[in-house]
Amino acid sequence: MRINLTELLTREGKAKDYSVQLEESCFDMPEGVYEAVDVRPVILHIEHASNRVLHVSGRAELALMIPCSRCLEPVKVPFSIPLESVLDMNMTEEERIADLNEQSYLQGYNLDVDQFVRSELLLNLPMKVLCREDCRGICNRCGANLNYETCGCDRSSPDPRMSVIQDIFKQFKEV
């Protein structure tokens, strides 16, 4: 959802509170597309501080279904993200890029709340998600989920120093 900020720019000190429902049901992240569940409305407080500079604060609460890093089962990961930003409406797009403050969520006088939350989610994603601490993962040979079943795959890793001897045994192996 987009919030038009022109109303707040009419005079300094003007502030407004917003309760915005996210329109995105999935968030496209670098590691994949994650489904959003248990999404609560985003609460924002936007205030015109001075000279066309807006202060944005608020909170976003939602959960994402992220695959486990070991077994790839979906895991519900809750997020409660504080939202803070300063929007200088005097800067042009080129000045923002040069200042390394691209703010893809600000388009003209519109604040794209979904993009704003997405950019904050990117910063708060965990490095590794596990369905449980003792997750056994999947078999790298047959793909079986080792949390629910066992497989008969040979998991022995031979000593690489013995590879020459193993090659000799393979030459003399009967067919």
Q: How many residues does the chain have?
A: 175
pTM attached to this predicted model: 0.77
Q: Can you spell out the DSSP letters for 37-69?
A: ESPPPEEEEEEEEETTEEEEEEEEEEEEEEE-T
Q: Express each pLDDT in 25-44 by its tens digit.
A: 999 888 889 999 999 999 99
What is the predicted pLDDT for the residue at 60? 95
Residue 174: the pLDDT is 61
Is residue 143 pLDDT above 90, yes or no?
A: no
Using one digit for the tens of pLDDT, what is the confidence trace for 77-120?
999 999 998 888 877 777 766 766 656 788 888 899 999 999 89
CA angle centred on 62, ends 71 and 134, rounded to 5°: 25
